[in-house]
Structure 1
Amino acid sequence: MNPPSQRLSVVVALVVVQLFYGLHYIAARLVIADIPPRGWAVLRVAGGALVLVLVCLAARKSLRISKLDLRELAVLSIFGVVINQVLFIEGLSRTSTAHSSLINACIPALTLLIAVLLHRERVTTRKLWALLIATGGVALVIAPSNSAFGARMLTGDLLTLTNATSFSLFLVLSKRLMSRMDPLVASTWLMVIGTIGIGIVGGPTLVGAMPLDLSAQTWWLAAFIMIFPTAAVYVLAYWALKRIESSSVALFVYLQPIIASTLAVWLFGEALGWPVFVGGSLIFAGIFLTLRRQRDLRQ
């Protein structure tokens, strides 16, 4: 596969990841109306792990890994699964979807900052301009909801910010592991190990709190979240991390506010103003700039 074709494949994969994440905001809100947030985080990760194990078995993938990789995945699961998943859903249950998507849009900047601090990436003028342009786009998209900011959402916002920071650290630390592991195998082990950790944190909330009369809609939404915004996105993100820098992968998070706004129009009939269209253009410009002349794309 030639580099331009592979670059296009990476872009498509990362756009699909953000589409699933955008759908997840709406689906998760409906699910946690019936299931305790932390308990749902446990079910989501456990379900995602089961899906990935079944996929590995169907694809006849060997799940044998070295003790070194196992230890590294155990550490990564703390940041990429346990802290990330628990604080995301706890934050979403306390704040608005707009707040959550805005704060998670900080992931590219946080990822670049962490990568630079850990000497994993170099700062370039192109990267800084890409972040500034895309951040300006996010600000325009979210600006109409600024009046909704209130002190009552502070706890949820802080939980979400911690979630975003944890996921950013996960992206940076995962980069080296991806140079030697299969994305599907790595994702499977990450979710399996993460299930143990998140079970310790959130398992007790399921005892006596899990409704027995969940609606069919809740079950379908739960299945969707386990398969796509959980299992599939980890595999796609890991696959992309093998081919471009972690800060470039993270930059696609800027698509989430655009996707969330589009879904709001489609599902709830909300109107979109010029900030969404102008902001969306800036977001795509930022993504294009960071991908332009990407030198580390693998053959």
Structure 2
Amino acid sequence: MKNSLRVHAALFTAAFIYAANYSLSKDVMPHFARPFGLVTLRVIGAALFFNILSQFVTKDRITGRADTVRSILCGLIGIACNQLLFFSGLELTTPINASLVQTVSPIVVVLASAILLGEKITPTRATGILLAGVGAALIILGRKTGALPGQDTPLGNLYILLNATAFGIYLVIVTPLMRKYHPFTVLARIFLVGALAVVPFGWRQAAAIDYAHLPLLIWSEILYMVICLTILAYLLNNWALKYASPALTGVYIYLQPVLAVIIAVGLGKDTFTLQKALQASLIFIGVFLVSRKPKAASKPAAATVPLEPVQVQE
């Protein structure tokens, strides 16, 4: 029970960190920094942190061809693609739109689990996938209501959808590594891979930031992105994956828009309309149906798929 509470506390804290970022990032982009520059700072900072700290915390190392390939895929998909797409999308869309589209990630977890782990998609889950897909499509294809100059809301929403897809796949493929190795060992490897992939895209934007004249508020928000959003949130999520299923971790994304709406409206960064509420309801109902645990099938134990997610003990 205690371990279950720690897992939920870790996932809730990570969800709050992500939710706050939707509004805070809008202060930084595009006036003080561009998206690829921010991602470069985040990933390099996290790569240095985890690779240095892992040398003192554990002697565990990722070995074997299969695990090495998996860790490289995690770095490319979960770090490089995930973060480049997220910040590119957030620059072009609104905080609430981005947080709502992000909630399709649990759907991707289920689809990826079906493809990679052989899990069945029940009629209930299929209905949930359809409803969430309709809700996400309505947001992505919606009018550019309230868009600021230079924003392309539909394109930004599409980037966020691709980001959510990358993150959902990452949650599935990183789980076996998190259950086999120390979290710092895994994070050190995947952030190193992510840094090598991101730097060619973002070093020019990172170098173009006028660091000497950044206001204190902007400095604090950039540090928040590097320390809290990148290091702390990834650490909490990946530690939780040692004890929770990727589906449970994905479902906590479901909480992000609730927190993001409260923060964005409270800071005056966005407005929550009836149209957005209706679109969000389709996604939430869909995610709820998808996250329902299927009834146990009466099949022989030998038919169990390897690496099946472990449920948290309530």
Fold match (TM-score > 0.5): yes
State the 1:38 CA deviation: 0.9
What is the distance in 2 between the residues matched to 1:290 and 1:260?
A: 24
1:197-236 to 2 correspondences below 5 Å: 197-236=197-236
Q: Does the 8 Å contact 1:82/1:198 carry over to 2?
A: yes
What is the distance in 2 between the residues matched to 1:154 and 1:272?
A: 17
What is the distance in 2 between the residues matched to 1:171 and 1:24?
A: 20
What is the distance in 2 between the residues matched to 1:270 and 1:83?
A: 26
Q: Does the 8 Å contact 1:48/1:226 carry over to 2?
A: yes
Per the alignment, do residues 172 and 270 of structure 1 end up closer, same or farther by CA in structure 2, a change over 3 Å counting? closer
What is the distance in 1 between the residues matched to 2:60 and 2:95?
A: 37
Query: What is the DSSP-based 3-state SS (H/G/I as helix, E as strand, rest coil) of the residue aligned with 2:267?
Result: helix
- Structure 2: which amino acid aligns with 1:14? L
- Structure 2: which amino acid aligns with 1:26? S
What is the distance in 2 between the residues matched to 1:5 and 1:220?
A: 34
- 1:26 maps to what in 2? 23
Q: Summarize deviations over 1:74-97 as a string: whole Å, max 9, x none.
A: 221110011111111011111111
Deviates more, 1:251-260 or 1:61-70: 61-70
Per the alignment, do residues 131 and 155 of structure 1 end up closer, same or farther by CA in structure 2, a change over 3 Å counting? closer
Query: What is the DSSP-based 3-state SS (H/G/I as helix, E as strand, rest coil) of the residue aligned with 2:121?
Result: coil
- 2:311 maps to what in 1? 297
Deviates more, 1:149-158 or 1:9-18: 149-158
Matched, 1:40 2:33: no
Query: What is the DSSP-based 3-state SS (H/G/I as helix, E as strand, rest coil) of the residue aligned with 1:93?
Result: helix
Q: Does the 8 Å contact 2:74/2:173 carry over to 1?
A: yes
TM-score, normalised to structure 1's length? 0.80
- 2:54 maps to what in 1? 56
Per the alignment, do residues 22 and 262 of structure 1 end up closer, same or farther by CA in structure 2, a change over 3 Å counting? same
Residue of 121, 124, 128 corresponding to 1:123: 121
1:122-201 to 2 correspondences below 5 Å: 122-123=120-121, 149=145, 152-201=152-201
- Structure 2: which amino acid aligns with 1:184? F
- Structure 2: which amino acid aligns with 1:31? V
Per the alignment, do residues 125 and 239 of structure 1 end up closer, same or farther by CA in structure 2, a change over 3 Å counting? farther
What is the distance in 1 between the residues matched to 2:95 and 2:123?
A: 32
Residue of 51, 72, 75 corresponding to 1:74: 72
Per the alignment, do residues 153 and 267 of structure 1 end up closer, same or farther by CA in structure 2, a change over 3 Å counting? closer
Q: Does the 8 Å contact 2:95/2:270 carry over to 1?
A: no
1:237-276 to 2 correspondences below 5 Å: 237-268=237-268
Gaps of 5+ in 1: none
Per the alignment, do residues 114 and 236 of structure 1 end up closer, same or farther by CA in structure 2, a change over 3 Å counting? same
State the 1:15 CA deviation: 1.1
In the alignment of these two chains, the number of paired residues is 289
TM-score, normalised to structure 2's length? 0.77
- 1:106 maps to what in 2? 104
Q: Summarize deviations over 1:193-230 as a string: whole Å, max 9, x none.
A: 21111112211333445453111111111111111111
- 1:13 maps to what in 2? 10
What is the distance in 1 between the residues matched to 2:125 and 2:9?
A: 20
RMSD: 3.7
State the 1:292 CA deviation: 11
State the 1:21 CA deviation: 0.2
Per the alignment, do residues 78 and 51 of structure 1 end up closer, same or farther by CA in structure 2, a change over 3 Å counting? same
Q: Does the 8 Å contact 2:144/2:154 carry over to 1?
A: no
Q: Does the 8 Å contact 2:96/2:261 carry over to 1?
A: no
- 1:86 maps to what in 2? 84
Q: Does the 8 Å contact 1:103/1:160 carry over to 2?
A: yes
Q: Does the 8 Å contact 2:70/2:173 carry over to 1?
A: no
- 2:302 maps to what in 1? none
Per the alignment, do residues 225 and 291 of structure 1 end up closer, same or farther by CA in structure 2, a change over 3 Å counting? farther
What is the distance in 2 between the residues matched to 1:158 and 1:272?
A: 20
Deviates more, 1:61-70 or 1:106-115: 61-70
- 1:95 maps to what in 2? 93
Per the alignment, do residues 213 and 5 of structure 1 end up closer, same or farther by CA in structure 2, a change over 3 Å counting? same
Q: Summarize deviations over 1:70-127 as a string: whole Å, max 9, x none.
A: 4321221110011111111011111111221121111111211121122343335776
Gaps of 5+ in 2: 297-308
Q: Does the 8 Å contact 1:120/1:172 carry over to 2?
A: no
What is the distance in 2 between the residues matched to 1:15 and 1:208?
A: 35
Per the alignment, do residues 71 and 226 of structure 1 end up closer, same or farther by CA in structure 2, a change over 3 Å counting? same
